[in-house]
Amino acid sequence: MPNRRTTFSKFIIEEQRRRSNPDTAFTALLNDIQTACKFVGSAVSRGRLGAHDDVLTVTNVQGEEQKALDVISNEIVLRECEWGGALCGMVSEELEEPYRIPAANPRGRYLLLFDPLDGSSNLDVNVTVGTIFSVLAAPVGITEPTAADFLQPGTSQLAAGFALYGPTSMIVITLGAGVHGFTLDREVGAYTLTHPQMRIPEDTREFAINASNERHWEAPVRHYVEECVQGRTGVRGVDFNMRWVASLVAEVYRILIRGGVFLYPRDNKDHSKEGRLRLMYEANPMAMIVEQAGGCATTGRERILDIVPASIHQRVPLILGSRHEVERLSSYHDIHDRGEQLVFETPLFKTRSLYRAL
């Protein structure tokens, strides 16, 4: 019986064939990205068996702890994607300035943006981590892009995706027409389509937030979480589950599979930062994926994909997931910003008990 499984490479080629102007350079770039993800995944899977020490840390350009595997993963992506001739530049969470394609390599018309190892703070506890990436078109005529050439809104992304390095290795990707998940078949070394046309349920009873920051939250977020925590006896009339992995790739994948809402909101913990997550390496790619799967992504006040970046390392608040919950949170921000009071409304039906509270 012939093998009819769709590999990542075959999927990309077929998607390009469906378009009026297929681009072999774009196909080659995505194949280079999947190769980089295989190498990064292999390095992650070896843990302490690898020739590195994940416990040792240094400080990166943004003043954050950087583990050995962060550096290794960044180098892998650069080396695997610089030579193919599809790119004229790259930016990474781990680099202060754009990476210049070596002079000996041909230049292309695409830009690659990536977080080489999202969730790396969880490496020592063996929690799922991953790589996040997105592709932009370089401005016409540009062969040596500067930081300004990368400052395009998320709506300009041509592709966005992330790899997962967990119990199974996966790539989740969108080319602007749905979201598809590929699982690495280690026996043949190929990512194979296992999750076509992923969709996020519009309703959910699950939310993810770092509750230790509650004292720093703005009123709309505090109000929303309080509603959820009250459960069936509160205004929502249903019980919610709370999750927090501290790995964005793991959080978004869970939402793609079973719905939910993820919150890393604006808070008052550090007034010098508008938000905590990077717009270009984390928020934009994930927002494109979530929207293509039927969900929403916002700062609470603005659609993520509409933001015009001010710098390549800009940070933003991020709220994404099931449409109805994200819209509820946005409405709470609107009410708060108008100076109106957020009030708890009694639901039409509430859980009743035969027993009276004493």
Which one, of 76, 4, 89, lies nearest residue 34 by Cα?
76
Q: Compute and round to an integer the Cα radius of gyration of the chain.
A: 21
Q: What is the pLDDT of residue 54?
A: 52
Q: Where in the chain is the domain with CATH 3.30.540.10?
A: 8-195
List beta partners, residue 164: 130, 170
Q: What is the pLDDT of residue 351?
A: 45
Check pLDDT > 80 for residue 347.
no
Q: Where in the chain is the domain with CATH 3.40.190.80?
A: 206-337
Check pLDDT > 50 for residue 90.
yes
CA–CA gap between residue 212 and residue 226 (Å, rounded): 14
Check pLDDT > 90 for residue 162.
yes
Does domain 206-337 bear CATH number 3.40.190.80?
yes
Angle, CA of 277, 201 and 197, to the nearest 5°: 85
List beta partners, residue 262: 208, 320
Least reliable range by pLDDT among 11-25, 50-64, 198-212: 50-64
Which one, of 90, 100, 61, 107, lies nearest residue 150 by Cα?
90
Q: Are 150 and 157 in contact (CB under 8 A)?
A: no
pTM of the model as a whole: 0.92
Alpha-carbon distances, residue 305 vs 20, 46, 154, 282, 349 (angstroms): 25, 36, 4, 12, 38
Q: What is the pLDDT of residue 58?
A: 57
Summarize the chain as % helix, strand, coil (round to 5). 35, 25, 40
Return the CATH fold of 8-195: Fructose-1,6-Bisphosphatase; Chain A, domain 1 (3.30.540)
Tokens (6 digits) for 17: 């064939």
Tokens (6 digits) for 271: 């007034």
Q: What is the pLDDT of residue 358?
A: 40
